[in-house]
Amino acid sequence: MSQSNTYKAAGFGASVPRGTRPGIVVVDFSYGFTDLQYPTASDAAAQLEKTKRICDAARAKGYPVIFTTISYHPGELDILPWLKKATGMRALVEGTRLVEIDVATGIQPEDAIVVKKGASSFFGSTLNALLTGAGVDTVVVTGATTSGCVRGTVVDAVQSGYNVLVPHDCCADRAKAPHDANLYDMDQKYADVTDSDDILNWLDSL
């Protein structure tokens, strides 16, 4: 049995229903993940441009646009277990340029910024409260990295009761294999993986 048939036979890959109140969550498009002078970054120029289009369209219709960034206090660096495994993340210290949202996203003063300490944008943060307060029923997730913080956010989003959409051309990763594998898996189990044009057309239709 082929891979696609195996997943289909197991009941995976159904389409996600789309609500009427979207929210855009842009995961970790901070300079530490977008500026190639930093070793933690990947080339995300095209993904940033397409994410900006989605954010601009959502904002123009009054839908919330929320950015996330990983930012550590110096006192956390020698304590948190993730930083013992992923030591490169130790550079993401509060007050540094690495934790600032890349201006190429088109971030605006009215956009909320959620500070997080791990992969999921929901864990230990205000994200769920912000989405609930805005009446969001469908979350569009973009950002970096596809196999890490985007995936962690997508899994927690659907577990928190949201329909989830992931435009693949708005997600960046350091290598193609984990990027592709995680998009496939998210599409089968947690979200609809689509593209930015589809998201823009959907936003326009609301």
The catalytic residue among 55, 149, 170, 171 is 149
Q: Does residue 10 lie in a domain region? A: no
pLDDT for 12 equals 79
Q: Is 149 designated active site?
A: yes
Domain of residue 109 covers 19-205
What's the half-sphere exposure (Cβ side, CA atoms, 13 Å) at 198? 12
Total domains, the chain: 1
pLDDT for 31 equals 98
pLDDT in tens, 92-115: 999 999 999 999 999 999 999 999
For residue 41, give both structure tokens. Answer: 């970054």
pLDDT for 2 equals 64
CATH number of 136's domain: 3.40.50.850
pLDDT in tens, 5-49: 787 777 877 899 999 999 999 999 999 999 999 999 999 999 999
**Per-residue pLDDT band at 50 (split at 50, 70, 90):** very high
Q: ∠120-123-128 over CA atoms, to 5°?
A: 100
